Structure 1
Amino acid sequence: MIRHVALFTWTDDATDEQKAAVATALATLPAAIPQIRAYTFGPDAGINPGSHDFAVVADFDDLDDYLAYRDDAGHQAVIAEYIKPILASRAAVQLSL
């Protein structure tokens, strides 16, 4: 199994509407990309200072399924249209479980 974790920090001028649009767009991906086994995302709970603003955690059966998700046109459109316009920084890791 491959687990993908992406962490985003938004720009200071990102609006609440833009942030909500990211979540709305991400919510469409599990139905559109059958290789996704589990998909969780949302804003930071605000417990610790210095955390990223938003996280995505996605599980896949194998590397090929992760690569299908990574390269999927719909996924890439969500990144380009909703995430990148308000993205200050990103961190990601892929774990082999």
Structure 2
Amino acid sequence: MFRHVVLFTWAEESTGEQRARVAEELGKLPAAIPEIRAYTLGADAGVSPGNHQFAIVADFDGVDEFVTYRDHPLHQAVIAEHIKPIMDTRAAVQFEV
């Protein structure tokens, strides 16, 4: 199993509607990209100060399946159209589980 974890903070001027749209559009990807084995995403619960504001955890059978997801046109469209316009910071890591 190969895991991909991404954390975002949003630009101050981003709206709640824009943030919700990111989650909505990302949530469509598992149905469109069969290489995704598990996909969890959500906004930070706000319990601890200084956290990132949004997280994605995605599991794949291996590196090749992750690369297919990473480069998939639908995934790239979500990034370009919904994430980048409101993103302040991003952190990511991939590792074997």
> In the aligned structure 2, how far is the partner of 1:27 from the partner of 1:70?
15
The alignment yields a C-alpha RMSD, in angstroms, of 0.4
Aligned to 2:86: 86
Regions of 4+ moved over 3 Å = none
- TM-score when normalising by structure 2: 0.99
Aligned to 1:96: 96
1:4-23 to 2 correspondence within 5 Å? 4-23=4-23
Q: Identify unmatched segments of 5+ residues in structure 2.
A: none
Partner deviation per Cα, 1:6-32 (whole Å, 9 max, x = no partner): 000000000000001001100110000
Q: Identify unmatched segments of 5+ residues in structure 1.
A: none
Amino acid at match of 2:26: L
Amino acid at match of 1:47: V
> In the aligned structure 2, how far is the partner of 1:54 from the partner of 1:65?
23
Superposed displacement of residue 73, structure 1: 0.3
- TM-score when normalising by structure 1: 0.99
Pair 1:32-2:32 in alignment:
yes
> In the aligned structure 1, how far is the partner of 2:94 from the partner of 2:84?
20
Amino acid at match of 2:54: F
